[in-house]
Amino acid sequence: MKPAMKIEQEILIDVDKCTGCRACEMACSAFHSLPKFSSINPAKARIRVVSDEIRDEYVPVFAGNHTKSGCDGRHVYTLDGKTYSECSFCRASCPTRDFFIEPDSGLPLKCDMCESTPALEKPWCVQVCGEEALTYKRTEVPREQATQEVSGEIEASLQALMKQHGMEAVIHHLKEMANKDR
C-alpha cells in the first residue's frame, strides 16, 4: 500500500548569487511583525546573511532548531583564505549568542516557511530576492517522516517556553487553552 504523503518545503541557497542586500532579512521580519508588515527589524528575522563586504562574500543562513546549550567543541572554517568560526553558519538559536533569539521576548526564532492561511505561493524571503539566490522547492515525502520532524519542533518550543516561564506556568496555560477548545 502506498504510504500517506505530505508536502515538504525547502529553500535552496546559491551563495554565488547573493549580493548581501539583506532584503530577505527585512521581508522576513516585516512578515512576522504583529500586525503583519507593521515594522521592520532584521534582529527579529529568521534568516541572516553572514557578510564579508571586503571580499564580497555573503551566505544566507536560515534559523533552525533551538538548542539548550552551546557546543563543547568548536572548530573554524577556512573558505577561500578567510577564517570563519563554527558559529558563523550555525542555524541554531543558542544561549551562547544573540542570533535567532527574539530580542523582546527572548524566545527562539525558527524559520516557519512563512506559514500562513491562505498559504503563500512562495515564502517572502524568496519573493524579495531579486538575485534568485534563494529558490523555493516543494517535494512529497512519506507522512511518518514529516510527523517525526514536527514532534521534534514542538518539543524544542515547549522546552524553550519552560526555560523562560517555568514548567508550571506552561502546563497551566496549556490546560486553559484545552478548556477553551472544548
Residues that bind ligand SF4 (CB under 6 A): 18-24, 27-28, 31, 46-47, 49, 58, 60, 62, 111-114, 123-125, 128-129, 131, 133-134
Give the residue with the Cβ less far from ligand SF4, 64 or 67.
64
Position 38, amino acid: S
Give the residue with the Cβ less far from ligand SF4, 58 or 99.
58
Q: Cβ of residue 149: shortest distance to ligand SF4, in angstroms?
A: 15
Q: Cβ of residue 144: shortest distance to ligand SF4, in angstroms?
A: 24
**Share in percent of the chain as helix, strand, coil (round to 5):** 30, 25, 45
Q: Cβ of residue 114: shortest distance to ligand SF4, in angstroms?
A: 4
Give the residue with the Cβ less far from ligand SF4, 23 or 162.
23
For the beta carbon of residue 105, count every other beta carbon within 10 angstroms: 10
Q: Cβ of residue 181: shortest distance to ligand SF4, in angstroms?
A: 26
Q: Answer whether 128's CB lies under 8 Å from 114's CB.
A: no
Q: Answer whether 12's CB lies under 8 Å from 137's CB.
A: yes
β-partners of residue 84 are: 77
Position 117, amino acid: T
Q: How far apart are CA 126 and CA 133, in angstroms?
A: 8
Give the residue with the Cβ less far from ligand SF4, 52 or 112.
112
3-state secondary structure at position 24: helix
Q: φ, ψ for residue 91 (rounded to 5)?
A: -95, -5
Give the residue with the Cβ less far from ligand SF4, 133 or 156.
133
Q: Cβ of residue 177: shortest distance to ligand SF4, in angstroms?
A: 24
